[in-house]
Structure 1
Amino acid sequence: MSGTLQRVRQAWRSSVAALLIAIAASPALAHKPSDSYLSLQVGADGLSGRWDIALRDLDHAIGLDADGNGEITWGELRQRHQAIAAHALARLAIAADGQACAISAGEQLVDDHSDGAYTVVPLQIDCPVAAPRQLSIDYRLFAELDPQHRGLLRLDVGDVSRSAIFSPQAASQQFELADQGRIAQFLTFVGDGVWHIWIGFDHILFLLSLLLPAVLLWQGGRWQPVDRLRPAAIDVVKIVTAFTAAHSITLSLATLGVVVLPSRWVEAVIAASVVLAALNNVWPLVQRRRWLVAFIFGLIHGFGFASVLADLGLPQASLLLALVGFNVGVELGQLAIVVLFLPLAYWLRGTGFYRRGVLVGGSLLIALLAAAWFAERAFRLELLPF
């Protein structure tokens, strides 16, 4: 082995060690992506609800920390209650059977979620229709500030719960209030899982980083194209299966409350996993068993998936159905990515464009982006506009 290659590998190992030490030393400072939790109940007396919004997001949007000391006190929060309600309600619209409902805010409280303190805004909702058959919801909170923000909806109609995810790309949605069967509920959670993986850019980039070398083989100190599709397809199947098995385990454990990890630590490690997987394509230390990397880090990604279901607070009657449906949706979302990726990558595998531009250049860009995410989550920096 040449001295240059030895120095490169030693630098790579040192970088990995430094990054892992930084992860271990700073779990309390990381944060997960911006979410709010909208709960609506449809009962015999009409429509009511509550809206949990992260204080850190509100501070960024309208300012809550009056003295600028980095801490939001109850007094500072109480002084901004009217501003919070006005800001939030201006970005939420509900219609029953096509007729707009009037929404007002009650007295606000504070609650803790897995990623910090949230203000709780009770919602009084007055609809012209006493027993609506359909609800239309338009959700625009923080859309102008954070394109990755999500609104997680829990809609209770009688004893039946369903969920939905709002984002700037899916801001308006309609819900039929007729009694849903179990199959319809299951399909709703499947759709939530598909959508979650498609907007989970860190999960997608981690998976792509592991898949990019699948159509190549490391020989003679460089990446060479594989001769046949079969070994590439087998490698992809191993990677996706390992990732699926791993995150299914931790998704189930976390959603059922068996194992709970701080979401701040989880999100920081997820960003770090993307960095490591991408850099391994440039300086490959793990060449043949990327499925093992997928499994190890997939365990952490599963805790990230679980934060969606856990913070929704679904009732026990819907929890198992939600867990299975959401997990199936995640797998279908991943499968769609693989189906698009593999034929195109195999077709381009012998070109310099793929080996140097896509594999090396793309991996370096992914690593740079994920490193910025890690810095934001681990040290509360604002480096990216998204």
Structure 2
Amino acid sequence: MKRLLSALFALSAFLSAFLIAVPLLVGGLASPAGAHPMSTSAVLLDIGDDRVEGEVQLPVDRLAVAVDRDLTRDSVLGADRAFLKKYTAAHISAVGDEDRAWTVTLGTGSVRTIDGTPHLVYPLEIRPPDGRVTDFVLRYDVIVEELLTHQIIATVRHDFDRGILKAGDARTLGIFDYTTKSLEVPAGGGSWLRGFAATAGLGIEHIGEGADHLLFLLMLLIPAPLVATGGRWRSAPSVRRAVGRVVHVVTAFAVGHSLTLALAAAGVLHLPSRPVETLIALSIAVSAVHAVRPLVARGEALIAGGFGLVHGLAFASLIGDLGLDRGSLVTTLLGFNLGIELTQLLVVALMMPSLVVLARTAVYPAFRVVVAVVGLVFSVSWILERAALVPSDPFEGIQTWLVEHPLLVAATVAVLAVVARRTAPRTSADAHDGL
């Protein structure tokens, strides 16, 4: 048993270092771009395998000066609509290798208030003649060809092969002004590996910052070192048995969420986010009750697998927000799932050695019940908030603090385990374990 406990603690130390290193590596791949200053234009690009999509944002007041017309929110979509679209399209072009022209298409314009200023916004699509996106030069002088003080900020907000997946990863490409009318867009030098690493980092981030997912896993781990006998919890006969139960729990949850994650990401399943988030909160309540008193024999594996299906739908909603094409979907699912599983293993490695030690002391029954009750209170609060029965969660501050200090929480439980082992050891592994 001592050798097995030593191995568990060693794994805990390794994964702790991994948790610190991976976000730094993933985060180092991008430099975020903020909102553009008032009355500047913006070009936002989403780079795919066979096309570049995005939008152009034109401040109406600056556009009016450039075209020498009195423009309003209504006129840009009414009397001046055709003229403005033709004018804008004439001042945007793209060329690839050997100066081959790419097709540039503007969609239907709309008016949007950005940074307090009305902007005329056009969807943008750029297609290469051979259907394969590579490095290209974007030429752009909308407004600035007449208004020399104007600036246009060009930003890449999505490029899977370069690990740019979400708003926080967006990278400023450069600035168009009266001296700079073209910018090179690096669209062909990335690799699937960077996208894979970025989605894995996204999985780590999603679980690491998701108080509900972490609490659900913790509620399942609390009874893992025990066995249900006669409707009550007793200490597991061996550490090997306890570790085996943990493996069953983690595996069941992984299978459950992986199944619905894949189906939902592929468009086979779809549920509104509010019911899904409410069911996640319910899953925590059920697992907390099970931690107090076993609902069914080996119930934590059943709960993990069953409610893992629900958690997978929540994971899929995040992938849907990334706007990935089908070409990168498999890589995205694999990377995202890897990040989730690595974070789960880290939680297990941080908590289970301490829980295994605590489970063999007289302190564990009280510890288990107190933690389960806290989890139940949090889950009920989430259920009420997500079902729109209360305006806010009164425990949000506590939950945020706990999520932001995982190592401190794990260290506190470890210290408690050491103290309890020395001061309140259980004389028999088969001794009754309370409720």
TM-score (norm 2): 0.52
Shift of 1:219: 3.8
> Of residues 311, 327, 333 in structure 2, which corresponds to 1:301?
311
Q: Which residue of 1 aligns with 2:119?
A: 106
The alpha carbon displacement at 1:380 in A equals 4.5
Equivalent position of 1:239 in the other structure: 249
Residue of structure 1 equivalent to 2:115: 85
Superposed CA RMSD: 3.5
Q: Is the 8 A contact 2:55 2:121 kept in 1?
A: no
Q: Following TM superposition, by how much is the alpha carbon of 1:175 offset from its aligned partner in structure 2, in angstroms?
A: 9.0
Question: In the TM superposition, what whole-angstrom CA distance separates every residue of 1:335-358 from its partner, at most 9, and x where no partner exists?
Answer: 11111111111111123333212x
Shift of 1:332: 0.8
Q: Is the 8 A contact 1:165 1:192 kept in 2?
A: no
Aligned to 1:196: 206
- Which residue is 2:132 aligned to? none
* Cα distance in 1, alignment partners of residues 226 and 56 from structure 2: 52
How far off is 1:191 after superposition?
A: 0.7
- How far apart are residue 317 of structure 1 and its match? 2.1
Tell whether 2:340 aligns with 1:340: no
**Quick check: 1:261–1:303 contact (8 Å CA) kept in 2?**
yes
The one-letter amino acid of 1:302's match is: G
Residue type matched to 1:41 in 2?
A: L
How big is the shift at 1:164?
A: 4.0
1:94 is matched with which residue? none
> Do the aligned residues in 1 keep the contact of 2:163 with 2:197 (CA within 8 Å)?
no
1:41 counterpart residue number? 45
Matching of residues 7-46 of structure 1 within 5 Å = 40-41=44-45
Assess, with a 3 A threshold, how the Cα gap between structure 1 residues 108 and 339 changes in structure 2: closer, same or farther.
Answer: same
Correspondence for 1:367: 376
Q: CA deviation at 1:222?
A: 4.2
**In the alignment, which residue of structure 2 is the partner of 1:13?**
none
Which residue identity is paired with 1:290?
E
Q: How many Å apart are 1:311 and its aligned residue? A: 2.2
8 Å CA contact 2:158, 2:164 repeated in 1: yes
Q: Which residue of 1 aligns with 2:278?
A: 268
Q: Within the alignment, does 1:281 sit opposite 2:291 as a pair? A: yes
CA distance in 2, matches of 1:225, 1:173: 51
| Contact 2:166/2:322 (<8 A) preserved | no
Take 1:306 and 1:42, find their aligned partners in 2: how far apart are those partners?
A: 20
Alpha-carbon spacing, 1:238–1:367, altered in 2? closer, same or farther (3 Å): same
1:229 aligns with 2:239: yes
Gaps of 5+ in 2: 1-34, 36-42, 58-111, 123-149, 174-185, 397-435
Aligned to 2:363, what secondary structure does the other structure show? Answer: helix
TM-score (norm 1): 0.59
Match of 1:126 among 152, 165, 171: 152
How far did 1:174 drift? 7.1
One-letter code of the match for 2:212? D
2:119 & 2:212 partners in 1: Cα distance?
37
What SS is found at the alignment partner of 1:163? coil
Corresponding position of 1:155:
158
Instruction: State the Cα distance separating 1:376 from its structure 2 match.
Output: 0.5
CA distance in 1, matches of 2:281, 2:228: 26
1:48, 1:125 within 8 Å by CA — same for their partners in 2?
no
Structure 2 residue 269 is the aligned partner of structure 1 residue 259: yes
SS at match of 2:227: strand
- Residues 369/289 of structure 1: CA separation in 2 closer, same or farther (3 Å cut): closer
Cα contact 2:290–2:300 (8 A) shared by 1: no
Indicate how the Cα distance of structure 1 residues 375 and 181 shifts in structure 2: closer, same or farther if over 3 A, else same.
same
Deviation at 1:240, TM superposition (A): 0.6
Cα shift at 1:155: 1.6
Q: Which residue of 2 aligns with 1:7?
A: none
